[in-house]
């Protein structure tokens, strides 16, 4: 993946990976001009993979995403670990040469500003590629080129426009998904594009323009529903009222009123469910031997299964289902995940330090390489924390920052 003439960051980035092997993107320099979610998530994945990701923020307070209230307060902590921060007012002549020098040294430029903004400041792909033909310019937008290309987009905008909100909420009540799914997945597609362009550059020696977009990502997400609409004579139903595929694939209540999802999606699982929860009458009914018969009598099955579950605690339901290989899950909130026994025991959470001295538990990438996770190497940087290297000294040499300890006390909350 890595071309010849690696940057001076190679040894430092490789050391971060430990003695066994270098990180996958060690030696790749990324200059990130981004805010909010889509661009920063793309940059963070590259940083986790070992790239030297230099986040360019405005002078002063830095990226405004740092200071969002409410549900936006977790955006900056979640998507800016393992990065370095330099402050430049790239629209000002005084900082232009510093910015261009930094871009000239880069393998990848990443940006997710509104359409035309980078070009208006003299940082369009054509101009920068003329200076640095090896540059991979990743532009993450709301829409790929087309009739909607100039529109302003947000995750919620494309969820409404792209049918995802229709499928998520109950009839007549379109509802955005409970996470920024298009922003994050669009950032992931940006990573895929960048990695592909790096591979092509190994063969051609030249970079290229890579585009990823929210709306087209949303269309990709609802592709199965698009196919269903074309193949079925029935109109699409939102997920809360969709036509049942299996009789048992729903949320039930335990004896204390706690919610638990239970499913049985095969004939074998149906028999195990009946056996485990004492549903003798259902098990012996020949009309329920196969899936369609069970779907036809879904209400009857639900009533008897709910009666059985109402006598048990949540822990007992989980134990019984798990023992028989039946799908089961309590209905958790995201707050519950910081103490989830699987995430904690497997080292999936990183106690990530913030500039104000606080720390938050954030999931690492859901990947392992030879059984090892890509861990936390640097906490979320303060605004302009690395100005001395990338702006004031402009040495092009990455800062000598002690790596974050990857011991148990740093990878999960106690």
The domain segmentation of the chain, as residue ranges, is 29-231, 244-330
Residue 108 and residue 9: Cα distance in Å, rounded?
14
CA–CA dist 352, 412 (Å, integer): 9
Which H helix or E strand runs over 149?
none
Q: Shortest CA distance to 340 belongs to which of 360, 354, 317, 361? A: 361
> What's the whole-model pTM score?
0.89
* Listed range (130-134, 294-298, 381-385, 395-399) with the worst mean pLDDT: 395-399
Give mean pLDDT, residues 137-166.
Answer: 97
Q: Which residues are catalytic?
A: 183
Superfamily designation of domain 29-231: Crotonobetainyl-coa:carnitine coa-transferase; domain 1 (3.40.50.10540)
Q: In this predicted model, what pLDDT tens digit does every residue of 20-79 receive, in sequence order?
A: 678 999 999 999 999 999 999 999 999 999 999 999 999 999 999 999 999 999 999 999
Tell me if residue 33 falls in helix, strand or coil.
strand
What is the CATH superfamily name and number for domain 244-330? formyl-coa transferase, domain 3 (3.30.1540.10)
- The Cα–Cα gap between 48 and 44 comes to 6
Torsion sign (Cα): 301, 305, 310, 314: negative
**pLDDT recorded at residue 243:** 83
Q: How far apart are CA 351 and CA 337, in angstroms?
A: 13
Tell me whether the CATH fold assigned to 29-231 matches the one assigned to 244-330: no
Question: Does residue 168 carry a pLDDT above 80?
Answer: yes
Alpha-carbon span 314 to 317, nearest angstrom = 5
């Amino acid at each position: 993946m890595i071309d010849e003439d690696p940057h001076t960051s190679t040894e430092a980035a490789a050391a971060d990976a430990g003695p066994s092997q270098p990180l996958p993107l060690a030696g790749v320099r990324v200059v990130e001009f981004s805010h909010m979610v889509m661009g920063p998530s793309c940059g963070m994945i590259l940083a986790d993979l070992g790239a030297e990701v230099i986040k360019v923020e405005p002078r002063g307070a830095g990226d405004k995403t740092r200071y969002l209230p409410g549900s936006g307060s977790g955006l900056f902590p979640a998507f800016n670990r393992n990065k370095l921060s330099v402050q430049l007012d790239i629209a000002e002549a005084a900082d232009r040469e510093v910015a261009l020098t930094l871009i000239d040294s880069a393998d990848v430029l990443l940006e997710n500003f509104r359409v035309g903004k980078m070009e208006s400041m003299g940082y369009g792909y054509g101009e920068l590629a003329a200076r640095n033909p090896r540059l991979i310019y990743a532009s993450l937008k709301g829409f790929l080129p087309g009739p909607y290309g100039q529109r302003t987009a947000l995750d919620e905008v494309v969820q409404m426009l792209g049918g995802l909100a229709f499928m998520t909420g109950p009839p007549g009540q379109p509802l955005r998904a409970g996470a920024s799914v298009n922003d994050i997945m669009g950032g992931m597609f940006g990573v895929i594009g960048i990695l592909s362009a790096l591979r092509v550059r190994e063969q051609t020696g030249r970079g290229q323009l890579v585009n990823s977009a929210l709306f087209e990502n949303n269309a990709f997400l609802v592709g199965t529903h698009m196919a269903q609409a074309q193949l079925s004579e029935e109109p699409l139903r939102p997920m809360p009222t969709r036509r049942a595929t299996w009789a048992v694939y729903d949320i039930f209540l335990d004896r204390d009123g706690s919610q638990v999802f239970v499913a049985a999606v095969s004939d074998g699982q149906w028999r195990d469910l009946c056996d485990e929860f004492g549903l003798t009458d259902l098990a012996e009914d020949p009309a329920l031997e196969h899936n369609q018969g069970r779907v036809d009598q879904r209400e009857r099955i639900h009533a008897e299964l709910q009666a059985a579950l109402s006598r048990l605690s949540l822990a007992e339901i989980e134990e019984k289902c798990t023992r028989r290989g039946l799908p089961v899950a309590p209905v958790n909130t995201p707050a519950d995940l910081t103490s989830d026994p699987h995430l904690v025991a497997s080292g999936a959470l990183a106690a990530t330090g913030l500039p104000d001295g606080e720390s938050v538990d954030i999931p690492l990438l859901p990947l392992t390489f030879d059984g090892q996770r890509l861990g936390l190497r640097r906490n979320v940087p303060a605004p302009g924390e690395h100005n001395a290297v990338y702006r004031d000294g402009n040495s092009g040499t990455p800062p000598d920052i002690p790596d974050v300890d990857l011991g148990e006390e740093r990878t999960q909350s106690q």
